[in-house]
Amino acid sequence: MSSGITKTASGGPASTARLRGVAWYQHPRWSRLTAMVAIAVVLTMVTGEQGTDRDIFFALREDFTGPLPWIWLGLCLLVWTVREFWSEPIRKVRRASVAKSDPPVAWVRGQWRGDRRIRQLVLAALVAVAAFAPMGLERYWHQVLVDQIAIYVLLAIGLNVVIGWAGMLDLGFVAFFAIGAYSAAFWTGALPVDPPFELNNFLVIPVAVLTCLIAGLILGAPTLRLRGDYLAIVTLGFHEIVYITAKNVEDFTGGARGVSGVEHFSIDMGFSYEWKLDPLPYYWLLLGFIVLLVFLFMRLEHSRVGRAWTAIREDQVAAAATGVNTVRFKLMAFAIGASTSGIAGVAYASKVGYFNPENFPLLASVLVLAYVIFGGMGSIPGVLFGAAFLVWLPEVLRDYVDPRDRYMYLGALLVIMMIYRPQGVWPSKRRQRELKMATEGTVDGDATAAPAGGKVS
Amino acid sequence: MTVKVTKDETPGGKPESVTGDLVLETKGVTLRFGGVTSLDSVELRMLRGEILAVIGPNGAGKTSLFNSLTGAYVPQEGKITFRSGKGGEHSLLGCKPHVVSLLGVARTFQNIRLFGALTALENVKIAAETRLKAGPVSIMLGLPRARKAERESDLKAHEMLSYVGLDSKMNELGGSLSYGDQRRLEIARALATDPEVLLLDEPAAGTNPTEKRELEELIRRINTERGVSVLLIEHDMRLVMSVADRVMVLNFGRKIAEGAPEQVQRDPAVVEAYLGVAPQEEPAAEGQE
Ligand SMILES: Nc1ncnc2c1ncn2[C@@H]1O[C@H](COP(=O)(O)OP(=O)(O)OP(=O)(O)O)[C@@H](O)[C@H]1O
Ligand SMILES: [Mg+2]
């Protein structure tokens, strides 16, 4: 801590690499080449013959003797070569065209940055596309959209607040999802115990948010002082407690048999409408929730709250010395994430009507985390894309590979992604800079390291 | 309130008497790390409005003193009292760092600790915003008071950046600024909390002569224009001698001398602490860490 080692101003990745005497084969280019070869192998396996139970090498033999791997390898190498060696000329040409009088790219960018109304218009158009495009899909995809994509997207934008913005590793995120779902069941009278009065599902939302907030505060207050890995273990434990409670307290939660007959969303104000089994109206409802939350959270990101979170994430000691109440802001992030998860829980329970504790496995928490990291921690568009894409992918893989293998390919994709592009598909600017500085070694990581001794508050 | 410190109360037998309004006072502050005693009954008396320099060889406990004053370390023994100009006496011992900052004691770090991935402006805004009230709900709903807070912090941050002369670099990343600029940005960030006392930990370390001169002028301006009391750790004796009203010398965690710069410079104990280097010449290896 008082080592006196000071940071130097950074001079770009290439120069620092040169200063450090990095050998040519340590250039990130070669690790990216490996990644592209790996992608080619995965694509060959996805598009080629599928394995059989009897002969585990059958598919390998079939796939890698034909022309298929060469096609994919060629394509991937082409992408790699263009990116690594021709990107500079391409960029130059583009820059030259941008410099010329008002080319389309610069014009579009200028419009996007300059005019708020145009931004709003474009976003509204995107929402409209998201709302109406699914009408052309089959009913199966409607179900996937609602039960999985929309729910996981909601969870991901909640977890993004906790991990992407405040930088806290929360592995028990789905516990709050479960609490939301059981709240919905309780307040609509689907649990073995009767509520004092039954509530409309829409009214359950604030109640569930409050419940999750309180649960989040109870868990968070004593534990958020912990750093990184320790917090992860605590939240893991919290998830286990909620899961086992749901499973074993049969008189209250219905136990392992689960809960059935949770009511659907309905409105009864002058006119009445009930969301029934048809998934599309549910999709629109959830899309509404997502749009609303994204709208609210975007305001947070570039406000004092978002800045305080970034400060805490980067250097907790400096943040505290600057007057940022670190515990309060962490708690805030935790509670906001928990309540988003709770909303997703209510929506899920009301949509499916039937659920049991197995719907809230630890794996779900890990998957949401993977979606957030894949999309780009801290970036709302990234997280929306990451969750939607990675939930969609196994579903579409059903048509190509043995359904039991689907998650294997998802895993391969995650591995490759983390090697090739650890910042995610669409990273937030702040996160990207942090990652860059960390790899260049211009940021010392002592914000997370406890000092060598002594009492430190 | 006015506290008189006469010469017999001041350890080290200073010929001059320290009289005035004490803003920061420690009594018998002792901080140990296992077997190491980094601070040994340190008595600090800082007058309101003065520039007090803390000097001493490497490992003397200067940074430990700062950390104890700002709540980063909790000394095992002693008292730390901060008397706010707004009235009220606060004990800083064991206070949370952010509470210390809210009370009006700001600091910079020896090993610069900026938020490197944020712009200079954002770095300062974070500090300014800790004084404003706008909760997450009012921000999410875009209520007028949230917008007002945003405007206020923007104004404050701009003001502070131009005060330290960084207004032209406000959109550059904290981590990409030059060394001297990073130090100044840290000062701007500290000033944005409207402190009564500013603790500067080796602000001149690693800066070039021009930057040093600018820094000297900046410290004076902060002191006279803004009425901020400055506690300054510095190895550059020229800077210390020209800017400080009084100097306090630490060695092995103990205060060995205190007084006007010229007196301290001649003090035999100080000369000895600096390993016999003649104090009239360059007394300390400058900026060495
Ligand atoms: N967190 C800590 N854990 C253990 N020992 C510490 C810690 N902080 C400081 N020390 C010890 O306390 C003593 C004083 O250190 P300190 O950093 O306060 O010195 P300094 O006067 O600021 O020196 P420099 O001029 O090099 O900055 C040293 O012996 C140091 O090793
Ligand atoms: Mg020091």
Of B232, B227, B177, B242, give the one whose Cα is nearest residue B203: B232
Strands (E), A309-455: none
Instruction: Give pLDDT tens digits for A412-455.
Output: 999 888 877 888 888 888 888 888 777 766 544 333 333 333 33
Tell me what pLDDT residue A8 has. 41
Residue B282, pLDDT > 70, answer no
Confidence (pTM): 0.85
Q: Are the Cβ atoms of A314 and B129 closer than 8 angstroms?
A: no
* Higher pLDDT among residues A25 and A172, named by residue: A172
Residue B279, pLDDT score: 45
Secondary structure of B105-131 in HEC code, one letter for each residue: EEECCCCCCCCCCCEHHHHHHHHHHCC
H or E element, residue B163: helix B144-164
pLDDT value of residue B195:
95
- Which pLDDT does position A104 carry in this prediction? 64
pLDDT band at A87 (very low <50, low <70, confident <90, very high): confident
Tokens of residue A92, six digits? 């130059």
Identify the band that residue B9 occupies on the pLDDT scale cut at 50, 70 and 90: very low
Kindly state whether A82 is in contact with chain B, defined as any CB-CB distance less than 8 angstroms. Answer: no
Identify the CATH class of B7-104+195-275: alpha beta
Instruction: Assess whether pLDDT exceeds 80 at residue A34.
Output: yes
Q: What is the pLDDT of residue A445?
A: 38
Give the closest of A4, A296, A434 to B140, CB-based: A296
Task: List the shell of residues around ion ligand 2, using CB closer than 5 Å.
Answer: B 63, 110
| Ligand 1 site, residue B117, Cβ cutoff 6 A | no
Interface residue A301 vs chain B (CB under 8 A): no
Q: What is the pLDDT of residue B49?
A: 93
Q: What is the model's pLDDT at position B17? A: 45
Print the SS3 string covering A378-405.
CCHHHHHHHHHHHHHHHHHHCCCCCHHH
Domain boundaries, given as residue ranges, for chain A: 28-50+59-91, 103-136, 138-449
- Please name which of A142, A403, A428 lies closest in space to residue A297, comparing C-alpha atoms: A428
Please name every residue paired with B83 in a beta bridge, in sequence order, or none if there are none. Answer: B89
Look at residues B40, B44, B67 and name the one whose alpha carbon lies nearest to residue B199.
Answer: B67
Within 8 A of A317 by CB-CB distance, chain B residues are 72, 97, 113
Asked if residue B127 lies in contact with residue B193, where contact means CB atoms within 8 angstroms, the answer is yes
Lowest mean pLDDT segment, chosen from A172-186, B3-17, B70-84: B3-17
The atom number, within ligand 1, closest to the CA of B60 reads 21
Q: Is A6 in the pocket of ligand 1 (CB under 6 A)?
A: no
What span, in angstroms and rounded, lies between the C-alpha atoms of A344 and A174?
10
Tell whether the model's pLDDT for residue A382 goes beyond 90: yes
CB of A114 closer than 6 A to ligand 1?
Answer: no
DSSP H or E stretch at residue B71: none
Contact B132 A304 (CB under 8 A): yes
Whether residue A323 and residue B142 make contact (CB cut-off 8 A), yes or no, is no
Higher pLDDT among residues A95 and A253, named by residue: A253
The ipTM estimated for the assembled molecules is 0.86
Over 80: is that where the pLDDT of A62 sits?
yes
Ligand 1 atom closest to residue A452's alpha carbon, by position in its atom list: 3
Contact across the interface for B136 and A326, Cβ inside 8 Å: no
Q: Ligand 1 pocket, B33 CB below 6 A?
A: yes
Mean pLDDT of chain A: 83
pLDDT at residue number A336:
93
Question: Stretch B102-127: mean pLDDT, rounded?
Answer: 94
Greater model confidence, A224 or B223: B223
Question: Looking at residue B12, what is its pLDDT?
Answer: 40
Chain B residues with CB inside 8 Å of A307's CB? 118, 122, 125-126, 129
Residue-level pLDDT at B6:
42
Mutation target to probe the A interface, by most A beta carbons within 10 A, among B73, B110, B129, B154 is B129
The mean pLDDT of B49-53, rounded to a whole number, is 95
Q: Which atom of ligand 1 is nearest to the CA of B34?
A: 4
Residue B260 has pLDDT above 70, yes or no: yes
List, by residue range, all CATH 3.40.50.300 domains of chain B: 7-104+195-275
Q: How far is the CA of B51 from the centre of ligand 1 (A)?
A: 23
pLDDT at residue A268 tops 80:
no
Kindly list the strands in the beta sheet with B51-55, ordered across the sheet, starting from the edge strand earlier in the chain. Answer: B105-107, B197-201, B229-233, B51-55, B246-251, B254-259
Which ligand 1 atom lies nearest to the CA of residue B202? 27
Query: Which among A299, A431, A443 has CB closest to B142?
Result: A299
- Among A148-152, A229-233, B24-28, the minimum mean pLDDT is found in A229-233
Pick the residue with more confidence: B189 or A6? B189
CB contact under 8 A, A457 and B96: yes
Q: Which of B74, B134, B142 sits opposite A304 (nearest CB)?
A: B134
B57 alpha carbon – ligand 2 mean position (Å)? 9
Within an 8 Å CB–CB cutoff, is residue A348 touching chain B?
A: no
pLDDT band of residue A195 (cuts 50, 70, 90) is confident
Residue B264 above 80 pLDDT? yes
